[in-house]
């Protein structure tokens, strides 16, 4: 039985989450708290397996409480976050601190919206209960060289000559993926092949996530746009409400965004990205499957292998949840299974 403590200042949210989680036979809501101070006492009393934690609360905000919790008494936490720009930034900070995942909380028709996410909420609590929790230790930001554009050296002439990439790296991730992607990209130099990424994340969060990545690594990171040319030294992140595909356009590769239905209940889907790499890039592609819940991407990682691409998989020990990478490994599609800290160097050494 998974014991859950709900921490939220909204009585409605506490009630809704209790009802939703109560539907699962293996989940028991052992308590609810309106703020972190009450939560602290209930953690001591009930010793929950998972906490759902609101971001915005009186007396102490959720991120401050999370930082203290992960430093002193690390445990699996699922954040309850509003779908706003401010909510996105705070939630991404919470994931950096050590939260396992988050549930979106739209401000309009809150009760009905949470009810629609019942299956997702239950699945994320299940995943959190099995996840590997890391204690929080503040780390110094890595120094990143200032990114100048060409104007710093040469005035623009009007001619357009871009270096295309003949090889492309495709990365897929879900639960725990925001931090895993960040760690991989931070170790890469600016001369890498073009990189395309599908991370399961809402639209309200994908732009903020791309900007945070751009600030922390030597590569140019941006949210992908339709028809955008894929260039060396650049990273393209799938928007949170559209599938990202790679398409051949003459001698170059471009990003294509697709508004089709969710695949494996996800939009964007890693399977869609990986199939486009299999079909359009073939042996010049390298697929990377990072931490994540479920099996999205596994099927089409096999299609990439059939077309001569290589597949790297994050190992179980370094994954928050070894669902997506584990499924690729179980199906025999992984060329290498590596700890997270070795994946960046393996991408640099790709020949």
Residue from 335, 66, 318 nearest 176 by CA:
318
Contact 319, 325 (CB under 8 A): yes
Contact 312, 283 (CB under 8 A): no
Q: How far is CA 207 from CA 105, 204, 214, in A?
A: 18, 7, 11
Residue from 266, 228, 220, 232 nearest 245 by CA:
228
Structure tokens at 61: 């905000």
Rounded to the nearest 10 degrees, the angle between the axes of helix 11-21 and helix 118-130 is 80
Contact 330, 304 (CB under 8 A): no
Rounded to the nearest 10 degrees, the angle between the axes of helix 177-186 and helix 340-348 is 40
Nearby residues of 151 by Cβ (< 8 Å), 6 or more positions away: none
Any catalytic annotation for residue 26?
no
Q: Which position has the token pair 């007396």?
A: 59
Any catalytic annotation for residue 35?
no
Cα maximum dimension of the chain = 69
Q: Which of 174, 206, 318, 319 is catalytic?
A: 174
Terminal CA-to-CA distance of the chain, rounded, Å?
48
Bridge pairing between strands 234-237 and 243-249: unpaired
**CA-CA distance, 308 to 269, in Å (whole number)?**
21
Q: Which of 200, 234, 243, 266 is catalytic?
A: 200
Any catalytic annotation for residue 200?
yes
Q: How far is CA 272 from CA 269, 289, 301, in A?
A: 5, 14, 10
Instruction: List phi, psi (to 5°) of 80.
Output: -105, 110
Q: Which of 269, 296, 315, 318 is catalytic?
A: 296
User: Could you count the other beta carbons within 10 Å of the beta carbon of residue 52?
Assistant: 26
Rounded to an integer, what is the distance from CA 224 to the centroid of its chain? 15
Contact 32, 10 (CB under 8 A): no
* Residues carrying an active site annotation: 174, 200, 296
């Amino acid at each position: 039985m998974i014991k859950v403590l709900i921490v939220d200042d909204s009585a409605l949210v506490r009630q809704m989450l209790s009802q939703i989680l109560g539907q699962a036979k293996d989940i028991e809501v052992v308590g609810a708290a309106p703020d972190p101070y009450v939560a602290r006492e209930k953690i001591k009393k009930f010793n929950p397996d998972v906490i759902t934690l609101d971001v915005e609360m009186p007396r102490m905000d959720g991120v401050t409480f999370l930082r203290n919790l992960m430093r002193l008494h690390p445990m699996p936490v699922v954040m309850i976050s509003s779908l706003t720009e401010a909510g996105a930034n705070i939630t991404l900070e919470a994931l950096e601190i050590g939260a396992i995942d988050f549930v979106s909380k739209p401000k309009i028709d809150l009760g009905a919206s949470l009810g629609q996410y019942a299956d997702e909420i239950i699945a994320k609590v299940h995943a959190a209960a099995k996840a590997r929790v890391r204690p929080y230790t503040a780390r110094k930001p890595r120094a990143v060289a200032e990114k100048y554009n060409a104007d710093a050296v040469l005035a623009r002439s009007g001619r357009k000559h871009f270096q295309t990439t003949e090889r492309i790296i495709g990365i897929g991730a879900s639960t725990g993926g925001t931090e895993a992607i960040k760690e991989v990209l931070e170790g890469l130099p600016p001369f890498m092949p073009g990189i395309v990424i599908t991370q399961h994340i809402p639209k309200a969060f994908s732009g903020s996530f791309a900007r945070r990545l751009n600030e922390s690594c030597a590569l140019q990171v941006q949210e992908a746009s339709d028809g955008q040319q894929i260039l060396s030294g650049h990273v393209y992140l799938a928007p949170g409400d559209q599938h990202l595909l790679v398409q051949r356009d003459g001698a170059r590769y471009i990003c294509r965004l697709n508004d089709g239905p969710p695949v494996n209940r996800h939009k964007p889907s890693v399977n869609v990205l990986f199939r486009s790499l299999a079909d359009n890039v073939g042996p010049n592609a390298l697929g990377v499957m990072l931490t994540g819940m479920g099996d999205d991407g596994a099927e089409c990682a096999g299609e990439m292998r059939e077309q001569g691409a290589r597949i790297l998989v994050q190992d179980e020990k370094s994954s928050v949840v070894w669902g997506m990478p584990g499924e690729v490994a179980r199906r025999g599609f992984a060329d290498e299974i590596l700890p997270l800290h070795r994946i960046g160097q393996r991408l640099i050494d790709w020949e």
